[in-house]
Structure 1
Amino acid sequence: MKLFLSTTVNKVDRKGRVSVPAGFRTVLAANTTPGVFVFPSFHGACIMGVGSDEMERLADGTESFAAFSPEHEDAARLIFGATHHLNWDETGRILLPAELREHAGIDDQAAFVGVGKRFEIWHPERHREARDTARQRAVETKLSIPMPGSGGAK
């Protein structure tokens, strides 16, 4: 599986069009369904982006909740009810819906941030603040990532 990596800041035009970084388009093009699926993050002022294969995994994950339970309904509503499927044009641009731009505070620039199997779209300054907070938290908690086969020890 290819991963979304790096951070790229691109200009957003007056209509809300922005270029998806070429490396991100390459990862997305390998998915079953072309395009990108975007929805408002419920953990921060950013937009989450995924390919169709990761969207299917999210759907499978919501099925771990009891059908029609509050957790299932909340997850389905927050993810699937707010998702937009976008295709890029011949120059690699997508049109970010106004409600998503508003959620993330995006105006004339957008930061595309690779986070592995997903990516985020931020207002560049908000991203810097979130990144700095995450770095501080990682230092304070001595963040350690368990590696497969390592027994999951921290």
Structure 2
Amino acid sequence: MDRFVSTFTNKIDAKGRVSVPAPFRAVLERDGYSQGSLGGIYCYPAIDAPALDAGGERLAKKIDGLLAGLPDYSDERDELSVALYGDVQVLGIDGDGRIVLPESLRRHAGLEDHVTFVGLGDKFQIWAPRAFEERRERAREKAHEHRKLFGAGSGHRGGGGDGGARD
């Protein structure tokens, strides 16, 4: 698997250390991270949520691609650069598979004694568990409301036993 998937909740200690889930570490290793290398996990405050966005080189390249699509020296490019790269912390993984989350990042996400790692494909997010449960519930509600849009191009119509639209 070369994507961040699933959800894991781990304890964070008083020093801000938390174990990165083993499946996430495996994805990071396939993405070029190796123990003792100069690289690490790119981690920054999420723009639109009380959470942290994190990932490896693939995430950094995706951000580079977003920025490359904007005109050089434009306000939009500068603002996005500041918002994404300006607050990045590069976190190393210790021999026990842990990272140290700096206080500024913990404060942004409201992290206290546990954190929830959420796989989002090319990146993952780190949430306070209760805040993530609320976020997951909203996402499921919206997905349920818009479920017909997901199959719009597939040629399926009507109700397949789910009370679908009637013509």
TM-score (norm 2): 0.83
Checking the alignment, whether the CA contact within 8 Å between 2:58 and 2:122 is kept in structure 1 is no
Alignment partner of 1:4 is 2:4: yes
Note the C-alpha offset of 1:65: 0.6
Aligned residues: 149
Q: Point out where structure 1 has 5 or more consecutive residues left out of the alignment.
A: 147-151
- Higher-Rg member (1/2): 2
Distance 2:101 2:87 in 1: 13
- Residue matched to 1:92: 97
Distance 2:148 2:126 in 1: 24
- Residue matched to 1:149: none
Matches within 5 A, 1:70-109: 70-109=75-114
Give the AA of the match of 2:18: V
Mean alpha-carbon deviation: is it higher for 115-124 or for 63-72?
63-72
Provide Cα deviations, 1:32-56, integer angstroms capped at 9, x if missing partner: 3442110000110000011112212
- Provide runs of 4+ in structure 1 moved above 4 Å: 143-146
Note the C-alpha offset of 1:144: 4.6
Q: Point out where structure 2 has 5 or more consecutive residues left out of the alignment.
A: 35-39, 155-167
What is the percent sequence identity of the aligned residues?
Answer: 35
TM-score (norm 1): 0.90
Distance 2:33 2:57 in 1: 6
Note the C-alpha offset of 1:140: 1.4
Alignment partner of 1:129 is 2:134: yes
